[in-house]
Structure 1
């Protein structure tokens, strides 16, 4: 796989950027703002790492983990009642999980990590 070519990671960059910038146009509080900015930036960094080094399985899973953290953050950090910012976290988290998980098999294949039958 060529560097800077996997569309899934570009989607993660875009949604991470959206999350990080969303406090500009979404009613929020200090906690939600901090969560969205930090997890948004971390998602962008993981996706850029994946784009620059395709096939590194660890960062693919890190991207998925950031998506999970983003998705659960409204409940864990107590801002689920703030509809706009919570919806942003849920949607961005879900998209990041989906595109990150979608890219894992190609990263595994690139490194020859797919399962091979064991011969007896």
Structure 2
């Protein structure tokens, strides 16, 4: 989906930093704030890890898991009453999963030594 430049890794870093900093501009309580900070930092770290080690496919999966956890966090952590924080979690969670999934075909191609999508023989 993205080019071989691994643009998705930089997008993940931006999404993670945005989420981690979002308690500065959205209404929240202590639980909401720490949920957004921790998951945001983890998403940003997975993006940074992929920039440094682009052949580690497990990082893309971890990024996807963190995106799902972020999406579910308003319900699991009980902060749906904070609409700004909830919408941040839902939107960034979905975008993080999309970025992680978009990275998988690129990773598969690199692991199989192809310039494009990996073919199955």
Q: Which residue of 2 aligns with 1:53?
A: 53
Deviations 1:18-39 (A, max 9, x none): 1000101111011110110000
What are the within-5 Å matches in structure 2 for residues 3-14 of structure 1? 5-14=5-14
Q: Which residue of 1 aligns with 2:25?
A: 25
Measured in 2, the distance between the counterparts of 1:34 and 1:115 equals 43
Q: Assess if the C-alpha contact under 8 Å between 1:70 and 1:90 holds in 2.
A: yes
Q: Assess if the C-alpha contact under 8 Å between 1:19 and 1:40 holds in 2.
A: yes
| Displaced runs of 4 or more, over 3 A | none
Q: Which runs of 5+ in 2 are unaligned?
A: none
Structure 1, 47-56 or 29-38: larger mean CA deviation: 47-56
Deviations 1:56-90 (A, max 9, x none): 11001101111000001001110112100000001
What are the within-5 Å matches in structure 2 for residues 1-120 of structure 1? 5-112=5-112, 114=118, 116-117=120-121
State the Cα distance separating 1:50 from its structure 2 match. Answer: 0.7
